[in-house]
Structure formats: structure tokens, C-alpha cells
Structure 1
Amino acid sequence: MTDITAVRIIQNQLASKTEVINGIKVPAAFTGEGSRKFGGRWNSIGTPIVYTAGTQSLAILEVVVHVESERLLEHYSLFEVSFDQSLVLELSFDSLPEDWQSDPAAESTKVIGDQWVKQADSLILQVPSTIVSDTPNYIINPYHPNLNKLNIIGPIPYPIDPRIKQTRS
């Protein structure tokens, strides 16, 4: 058994809320509600998944690319989630569509994620980050029957240094 730890950084206003999924109380940050409403690189609107990063540094970058103002970066919290490697299905580079890094996200990657959720073959899908492709993101299916095998720690207040977003003259 090999444990993996992933990181999720979310807005403070969502950090302390909890929900019940299939009889399991989880932080609202792990319901996939945001991705269900808005879609993402690995899911279409209507498909709930939870995006996490393989490192804190990558989690920060994944937040920063979506934030408009550096002032917003002060209002975040961090969750660490650990899980056994056996719960992970790794998506290899060889199986990625050519347009997997496109911006906006390609339909091809959404189809991959949507099918993975429907098939429910694993709790977690490991995918490369489009920002740092040799570092993984871990996508969690919040309605998978093994959701209770996640060990979630947090929320921990985690303001992000606003200098990371400032433009220099």
C-alpha cells in the first residue's frame, strides 16, 4: 500500500461547509458541485468531479490561472487528501488526445473524464497538469462507492501571496 497526498485549495467561503454524499459527511469542497455547474478540463457541465493537485505549488498555480485579481488570493483555504495508490487509475501520456492542453479545454478531454465518472472503475483519475505536465493532478469521483477511503485534512487557512499575480512594469 502506497499513500499519495494531493492538495485542494478553495475559497474560504466554501471551506467550512460540509455535505453528505452516499451517507458520508465530507467537506463541501469534495462534492464536485462547482465542476458540475461550470465544467472543467476533464468534465462537462453536469458531471461532478473534484480537482486536486499533486503538490501545494501546483495547487497554487491551478488557482492563480483562474483568478482575476490578486486581492482575491488572500481568501483561500487548503485541504490535504491522502489515499492509497490502488484507488488511482493513471491516464498515460500516450492515451491523451493531441489537444489535451488546449485553452479553452477541448471537448476530447471532457469526454474522457465524463466516461471515467460513468464507468466508475476507480475513485481517482491521475492526469497530467496542463500547467506543469510532469506533475499530476488527481481527479476524484465524489459519487464513487470508495469515497470513504479518502483521508481529508482541513480546512487550513492558506492565503496565497498576492505578488504571484501582480503585473510588473
Structure 2
Amino acid sequence: MILYRLANIDYIEDREGIGAKLFGGRWNEVNYPCVYASATLSLALLEKFVHAQFKEHMRNLAVLEIEILNADDIFHVDETRLQKEWISDVNYTQWIGKQLLEDSSVVAFSVPSVIVPSERNYVINTQADSFREVKFKKVSDFFTDNRLMNSLF
């Protein structure tokens, strides 16, 4: 399975989950390293865009392809079993992520995207026993239409 990580070129090579560890995210608390990725490049772009506050946040981007060889190693969070208000309850989603990130047998888990709930994002557990089997493939520069950028300050 190929996943896509979109980030500033200065941070695209973060394979230890340092950014997530320092700042936390929807599915991880601070001090829990992980790497976020998406099932499609377009979803990765939407996820990056929704967090951008300024045009500068969308410049100098690169895309990293990540391969998880055995899809059976991925735990799928069942959105039908999530609390009704999970989208607005980051403490709840971080609690779920904490349980999964503390399980060294979980190399990655998939979660519904808040932006496009029918699509999936992936949280890669850099502390998993089988993390070495995650393949970080090629890095490429990423460009998108300026019309998207023009909607930012």
C-alpha cells in the first residue's frame, strides 16, 4: 500500500515523527511520535491546505511516498464506532491514538479524514516493532495551481 506525506521540503524527511511529537496532532498527543500520511495525494494536499494560515505554509512543498508492504499490519479505526462528536473532540481522538501508538504491534492505523470522512488518513507508529518494514520511497517537489494559494493571505 502506497501512502502520501506532503510537507515542507525542510521536514519531508522526518521519519521519526519529531514534528508530531513536539506539537501533537488530531490523533496523537505531544510526546507521541508518529508520521501522518494520506491514502491519496489529493487528500494529503487538502489536509495540508486546511492547516495553512498563510501562502508561505504552502510553498516549498515536497511529497514523500511511503509503502507499507503488508496491509494486514494496518489497524483500521471504524468510524461507526467513534463517538458521535469525534470530529470536534480532539482529546477523544488523541486518546484513541495514544492507545494505538502505545501498542508496539501496530505499525500504522487508518482513520477517517475530517475533511473528507469517506477517505482515510494514516498514522504511522515510528515506535512499532515492525516500523523498519515501512519503506520511505522517493521524495519529489510538489507544485499546485496558484488559484489555490490565492485564497490564503
Give the TM-score normalised by the residue count of structure 2: 0.91
**Offset from partner CA, 1:33-85 (integer Å, 9 cap, x none):** 11111111101111111110010000000000111122442311100111121
Question: CA offsets per residue over residues 98-121 of structure 1, 9 Å max, x none?
Answer: 22211xx52110000011111223
Partner of 1:122: 106
Residue equivalent to 1:150:
134
Question: What CA distance in whole angstroms lies between the structure 1 residues aligned with 2:57 and 2:147?
Answer: 12
**% identity of equivalent residues:** 26
1:160 and 1:147 mapped to 2: Cα distance?
31
2:63 alignment partner AA: L
Q: Is residue 67 from structure 1 mapped to residue 67 from structure 2 by the alignment?
A: no
Q: State the alpha-carbon separation in 2 of the partners of residues 120 and 161 from structure 1.
A: 40
CA RMSD of aligned residues (A): 1.6
C-alpha distance in 2 between matches for 1:50 and 1:100: 21
Q: 1:6 aligns with which of 3, 18, 26?
A: 3
Count of residues in Structure 1 that have an aligned counterpart in Structure 2: 151
**Range with bigger deviation, 40-49 or 156-165:** 156-165
Deviating above 4 A after TM superposition, structure 1's stretches of 4 or more consecutive aligned residues are none
Partners of 1:34 and 1:167 lie apart in 2 by 26
Structure 1 unaligned regions, length at least 5: 16-26
Secondary structure (helix, strand or coil) at the match of 1:46 reads: coil
User: What residue in structure 2 maps to residue 100 of structure 1?
Assistant: 86
Gaps in structure 2 of 5+ consecutive residues: none
CA distance in 1, matches of 2:80, 2:67: 26
Tell me how far 1:131 sits from its aligned partner.
Answer: 0.5
In the TM superposition, what is the alpha-carbon distance from 1:124 to its structure 2 partner? 0.6
